[in-house]
Structure 1
Amino acid sequence: MKSYRADYVFSINADPIKNGIVTVDESGKIVAVSSQPTHPDVSIEQLSGILCPGFINTHCHLELSHLKNKVPKQTGLVDFIKNVQKFRNIDPAEAQDAALKADAEMYDNGIVAVGDISNSDLTIDIKSKSKLYYHTFIELFSFLPQNAKTVFDNGLELLRQFKPQSVSITPHAPYSVSKELFRLIRDYSDTHTNLLSIHNQECEDENKLYRYKTGKFLDLYEGFGIDISYFKPQARNSLQTVIPLLSNKQKILLVHNTCTNLKDIYFIKRFDRIINWCFCPGANLYIEGHLPKTELFLEQGFNITLGTDSLASNTGLNLLAEMKLLQDQVPSLTLNRLLEWGTINGAKYLGIDDEKGTLEVGKAPGLNLITGLDDFKITADTKVKRIV
């Protein structure tokens, strides 16, 4: 066993402990969290800073890691998609090497679990050998109704390849999934354990498409040779249109939410859907140049989590950096609340809160040391170091 004392221990499930001590066994399992030594024969390592559980990254695209520094910033989502498609296909060995380095980067940045989007089998071996816990979302997309069954069946085959790892199939986004494909995923989710994650309202053009059938997505479809003459405007935002198409038997993660408004939030409260939100502020700034209206989501009763998105749309995979961006946007956000979003809330969504997310006896959540805080505020000098 080994004990660590820090200026404060943020166990997340209880009030912070000043001069707290965390004791772990050889496997990393928590033996004790207290203000006094509970194992007198165990040496105590003194640390400066705060101790907290390992971070949970609920949204990443490991297989896009080779696109780091290749996609221009702040071009808007439609041009971002075009650039990803342009640069995406490279030698699989190069892509795997980049994904392996990204996995190591997350580990070094104190991340212990990841909800990761996959469109191929590229990361199966990496995840099977990783020190991190992964849940993989097999992402399905086709805006053409006639392709729905083929895309769905291909997704099930890829899901089988990922098993026995934790894996599910999920829709990509409202602008890339037909109602027919949404329904196939819903029917499957109603009868299987199938965690859901969907990109939501990343740009205003998504809402324009659904409200009026206008905006840049029309140019995108034309450029890809996709005929959407069948699609009729819905006179409502994309989120309000697709919520009824999602299963009410699975947890749903709505990711990005850059252009989600209060009417959207109130709308989904009318439905019996298990909604979780994920903010990826670094990616929002990288792609669109602005953040969601984070303050609208506070005190609404929803579970809020954090993600890094991919290295195609971010400069790094560091949840502490994501927390700082949100703190800078909404200064009233406390460190304890941001840590909740980055630990236990993500663990609850992924269904691993019995093992991770809080510093509690019997859990093995990982142990991070955060230094460089200024009166519990994250600064440019704040850093995270994995201890366990």
Structure 2
Amino acid sequence: MKIFKADYVFPIHADPIKDGVVTVDDEGTIISVTDQPPSGTDPATITRLDGIICPGFVNTHCHLELSHLQGKITEGEGLINFIKNIQLIRNSDPEEVEAAAIKADSDMYESGIVAVGDISNSNATIALKAKSKIYYHTFVETFGFTPEKAESVFENALALAEQFKSQPCSVTPHAPYSVSKELLKLIKKYSDDNPYKNLISIHNQECEDENKFYRYKLGSFNELYEHFGIDISYFKPQARNSLQSILPLLTNKQGILLVHNTCTNLKDIYFIKRFDRRINWCFCPNANLYIEGSLPKVDLFLDQGFNITLGTDSLASNKKLCILSEMSTLQAKFPALTIERLLKWATLNGATFLGIEKSKGSLEAGKQPGLNLISGLNSDLMITADTKVRRLL
């Protein structure tokens, strides 16, 4: 048995506890979370810590297989150039890809991450995930904006998902601008036929040109399709944003994670409320700044009744895979975000989306959520330049 006492304990599902005490067994299972040590405890056996104790973090959006691209793509060149560069240099020596992914997995574990929603376009991370101390849910991503290729793209995705079958796995669309309506309909049918077994994660409204393309068929996406030799003559302007255009084509049987949301507006949020869809949001602020130099209008999403989570995106678009770093960026831009709210986004909300809230995401008796110590907060429990996270369990 191990007993930890800190300035505050944040159970997440309940109010923070000042001078809180967390007791766990040797396997990391929570025994109790209280304001007093268990009766009869020898004070010498209590580990006293400065800072706050919280559950392990949940990273709901990552691209582990792109870890070898760290530092290889110039910052601030926009989404279109980012996509071109990714396709140009993503293929590399398999040993380099594997080594970088293994290091990234280890770094995430050390930074207090206990679970990851990871995007995969190949089988490069299967063996790594099978051995990892981190829980992974793999989203096998589909690309195919040409309608006639929908069937073959979908079958290839199913074949890759079969290779991941011993691990939690879904087949999911990449983004509105890269998946045809025909392919979306195939994924919807598959999701509808497999309730609670095919979570959806889709990149959403990462730049203004995505909405411009859907509304008017204008902007830089036309040049992107030309660059890749994709004939989009069939596509007609939808007279509405990309999110509003594809939402009716998404399943209402599964949880849906909309990732990035850099250019999502209040009309989009109200539009979603008109539909019976299990929408969750994921913010990856450091990747947004790396690629587009802008952040989502986070204030619009608050108190709207949606589940909000955090992600890191990949090392191609981020300097490190660290949830605390994402929290820090958000609080610096939106000071009204309390540590309590950010921690819920970083833990229980992510666990809830991934369907692992019975074991992770909050400090409750019987769970094994991992324990993190966050130190270096100021007197108002705001993140500072000195704030650090240390994994306790």
| TM-score class, shorter | over 0.9
Amino acid at match of 2:6: A
Amino acid at match of 1:16: P
Structure 1 moving runs of 4+ over 2 Å: 39-42
Aligned equivalents of 1:382 and 1:251: distance in 2?
Answer: 33
Aligned to 2:119: 117
Aligned equivalents of 2:232 and 2:82: distance in 1?
Answer: 21
Shift of 1:126: 0.3
Shift of 1:40: 3.0
Aligned equivalents of 1:290 and 1:271: distance in 2?
Answer: 28
Aligned to 1:6: 6
* Structure 1 residues 32-85: Cα deviation after superposition (integer angstroms, max 9, x where no partner): 111111153461111111100000000000000000000110111000001111
Amino acid at match of 1:347: A
2:388 paired with 1:383: yes
Aligned counterpart for 2:241 among listed residues 237, 244, 256: 237
Aligned to 1:185: 187
Aligned equivalents of 1:27 and 1:40: distance in 2?
Answer: 22
Unpaired runs of 5+ in structure 2?
none
Amino acid at match of 1:129: K
Aligned to 2:351: 347
Amino acid at match of 1:303: N
Matches within 5 A, 1:103-252: 103-192=105-194, 193-252=197-256
Query: Matched residue of 2:223: which SS?
Result: helix
Shift of 1:329: 1.5
Aligned to 2:366: 362
RMSD, aligned α-carbons: 0.7
Amino acid at match of 1:380: A
Query: Matched residue of 1:333: which SS?
Result: coil
Query: Matched residue of 2:138: which SS?
Result: strand
2:258 paired with 1:254: yes
Aligned to 1:51: 53
Aligned equivalents of 2:174 and 2:14: distance in 1?
Answer: 36
Query: Matched residue of 2:262: which SS?
Result: coil
Amino acid at match of 2:91: N
2:36 paired with 1:28: no
Amino acid at match of 1:260: T
Shift of 1:254: 0.2
Query: Matched residue of 2:140: which SS?
Result: strand
Aligned residues: 388
Aligned to 2:67: 65
Aligned equivalents of 2:40 and 2:242: distance in 1?
Answer: 59
TM-score under structure 2 length normalisation? 0.98
Aligned counterpart for 2:88 among listed residues 72, 86, 89: 86
Amino acid at match of 2:157: G
Amino acid at match of 1:146: E
Query: Matched residue of 1:310: which SS?
Result: coil
Aligned equivalents of 2:296 and 2:39: distance in 1?
Answer: 47
Aligned equivalents of 1:103 and 1:130: distance in 2?
Answer: 7
Aligned counterpart for 1:270 among listed residues 270, 274, 293: 274
Amino acid at match of 2:317: S
Matches within 5 A, 1:296-335: 296-335=300-339
Aligned equivalents of 1:286 and 1:37: distance in 2?
Answer: 45
Aligned equivalents of 1:314 and 1:307: distance in 2?
Answer: 11
Aligned equivalents of 2:271 and 2:19: distance in 1?
Answer: 45
Aligned to 2:79: 77
Amino acid at match of 2:135: Y
Query: Matched residue of 1:321: which SS?
Result: helix
Aligned equivalents of 2:60 and 2:295: distance in 1?
Answer: 18
Shift of 1:296: 0.4
> Are the structure 2 counterparts of residues 227 and 113 from structure 1 closer, same or farther at C-alpha, using a change threshold of 3 Å?
same
Percent identity of equivalent pairs: 68
Aligned equivalents of 1:350 and 1:12: distance in 2?
Answer: 17
Shift of 1:15: 1.2
Aligned equivalents of 1:142 and 1:216: distance in 2?
Answer: 18
Unpaired runs of 5+ in structure 1?
none
Amino acid at match of 2:193: T
Query: Matched residue of 2:308: which SS?
Result: strand
Shift of 1:273: 0.3
Aligned equivalents of 1:332 and 1:89: distance in 2?
Answer: 42
Shift of 1:86: 1.3
Of 355-364 and 14-23, deviating more is 14-23
Aligned to 1:15: 15
* Structure 1 residues 134-193: Cα deviation after superposition (integer angstroms, max 9, x where no partner): 000000010000100000001001111001100000000000000000000000000112
Shift of 1:19: 1.0
Amino acid at match of 1:33: V
Aligned equivalents of 2:75 and 2:85: distance in 1?
Answer: 11
Amino acid at match of 1:105: D
Aligned equivalents of 2:153 and 2:27: distance in 1?
Answer: 42
TM-score under structure 1 length normalisation? 0.99
